Copies of this chain bind each other. A is one copy, B any other.
């Protein structure tokens, strides 16, 4: 296949990179945040909203879409892009993580996982090849290999076994994607596992790097471990991955975590936090999160973030958004979701600009400090 990633610039003070992922549906400027559209919808946002806030690529989920509405139905209706009305790139997670976290596991061996659906209890099998075929049916621009994601705090033996199996499955996935022709016109990313064991992370990353995947992900992070445990795993794994390939950290994180991981050389992120927090009445600001249920926003005429260029900050006051949240109105969740997704996208846009300008290290340090200091208006 054609070149999957171009490294445009590297920071001198950190390992931050400016890059570009190339897909058949267009280029993606990195570092990038990818809104999560698990069930063929980013919760609460219309495709038009996603474009209005600058979404370059979004996520779908193989586990969920395989169970409902099913890959054959989506293929019949023209693929996931046509189905959900989104014409920019889509990355789909392999469903490995969900098969372990959501489903009732029945059996797992080197051929794959057998589990009961969390929706109706029906028995489903996902192997590395099946997962590739589902993602081919969906028409994913970037497909993820099936991996085994061990729980946080698992014993070393379990993490070793997960690494061994994930590497085996990655190899099977790549061979199947090559043989089926999926690799021409689509990308497949491998996933680094290894739990909290840095030597296992290193070993896994090196083994996968030798297979020459179009891109690499770091998985099995933010699965319940502390931030102090998580960050070194990402740093270690990122350092062992090839410079010329995109690096995607799966399922993280807070805005400061994203900036720190950009500094480790990570390029791509996805997280449900912006939309999930929105549904709980929480908005992201440069001074940390604010909960609109708080009485102090009752008459606050200001936008969520002064000067931030999105349709929510342009039109609605904190007082109005608080009213919607307090009244349990759908529109509250919708508007906060639009804002929060934009906040994450905008943060990565700023990161890209500062990497280009060469001041990423000082800018990101100041950004995190301000964010962690919290809201200066908050009564102490």
Q: Bound state CA distance, A89 and B197, in angstroms?
A: 63
CB contact between A330 and one of B315, B319, B326, B334 (< 8 Å): that residue: B334
- What is the 8 Å Cβ interface bit string for chain A, positions 290-333, against chain B (1 contact, 0 not)? 00000000110100000000010001110110011011011101
Given contacts A69-B319, A77-B301, A299-B77, contact A331 B45 (CB under 8 A): yes
Residues of B within 8 A of A69 (CB): 298, 319, 323, 326
B47, B299, B333, B335: which contacts A46 (Cβ < 8 A)?
Answer: B335
- The segment from A35-43, A146-154, A160-168 found at the interface with B is A35-43
Q: How many residues of A contact B (CB 8 A)?
A: 36
A324 to B47, alpha carbons, bound, how many Å?
A: 14
Please give, as numbers and ranges, the residues of chain B lying within 8 Å of A329 by CB-CB distance: 39, 41, 43
Report A182-193 CB contacts with B as 1/0, cut-off 8 Å: 000000000000
Which chain B residues lie closer than 8 Å to A40 at the CB level?
320, 323-324
B68, A320: Cβ atoms under 8 Å?
Answer: no
Q: Is the CB of B320 within 8 A of A84?
A: yes
Cβ-defined contact, A41 with B324, below 8 A: yes
User: Among the listed B39, B315, B334, which residue makes an inter-chain contact with A44, where contact means beta carbons less than 8 Å apart?
Assistant: B334
Q: Taking CB as reference atom, which chain B residue is nearest A335?
A: B46
Q: Which residues in B have their C-beta under 8 angstroms from that of A327?
A: 39, 41, 68
Chain B proximity of A144: nearest CB distance (Å): 21
The answer to whether B46 touches A319 (Cβ under 8 A) is no
Chain B nearest CB from A129 CB (Å) reads 26
A43 lies within 8 A of B331 (CB): yes
* Copies assembled: 2
Contact pick for A77, options B44, B315, B320, B335, CB 8 Å: B320
A330 & B333 in contact (Cβ 8 Å cutoff): yes
Q: Interface digits, A61-90 against B, CB 8 Å rule (1 contact, 0 not)?
A: 000000011000100110000011100000
- What is the bound-complex CA distance between A162 and B39, given in angstroms? 52
Q: Is the CB of B320 within 8 A of A85?
A: yes
Q: Nearest CB to that of A72 among chain B residues?
A: B299
Also in contact, A331 and B44, with CB within 8 A (given A83-B320, A319-B69, A319-B73)? yes
Considering the complex, give the chain B residue whose CB is closest to the CB of A48: B311
Chain B residues near A330: list those with CB within 8 A.
43-44, 330, 333-334
A326 near B68: Cβ-Cβ < 8 Å: yes
Contacts of A299 in B (CB 8 A): 73, 76-77
Quick check: B85 and A316 within 8 Å, CB to CB? Answer: yes
A329 to chain B minimum Cβ distance, whole angstroms, is 5
Min Cβ gap A299→B in Å is 6
Bound-state Cα–Cα, A84 to B329, Å:
13
Smallest distance from the beta carbon of A14 to chain B beta carbons, Å?
Answer: 38
Name the CB-closest residue of B to A279. Answer: B330
Q: How far is the CA of A77 from the CA of B39 in the complex (A)?
A: 38
* CB pair A83 B43 closer than 8 Å: no
24 chain-A/chain-B pairs, Cβ below 8 angstroms? A39-B324, A39-B329, A40-B323, A41-B329, A43-B329, A43-B330, A44-B331, A46-B335, A47-B315, A68-B326, A69-B319, A69-B323, A69-B326, A73-B298, A73-B299, A73-B319, A76-B299, A77-B299, A77-B301, A83-B317, A83-B323, A84-B320, A85-B315, A334-B334
Extra contacts besides A43-B331, A46-B335, A83-B319 (4): CB < 8 Å: A43-B330, A68-B326, A77-B299, A77-B317
Report which A residues bind B (CB closer than 8 A): 39-41, 43-48, 68-69, 73, 76-77, 83-85, 298-299, 301, 311, 315-317, 319-320, 323-324, 326-327, 329-331, 333-335
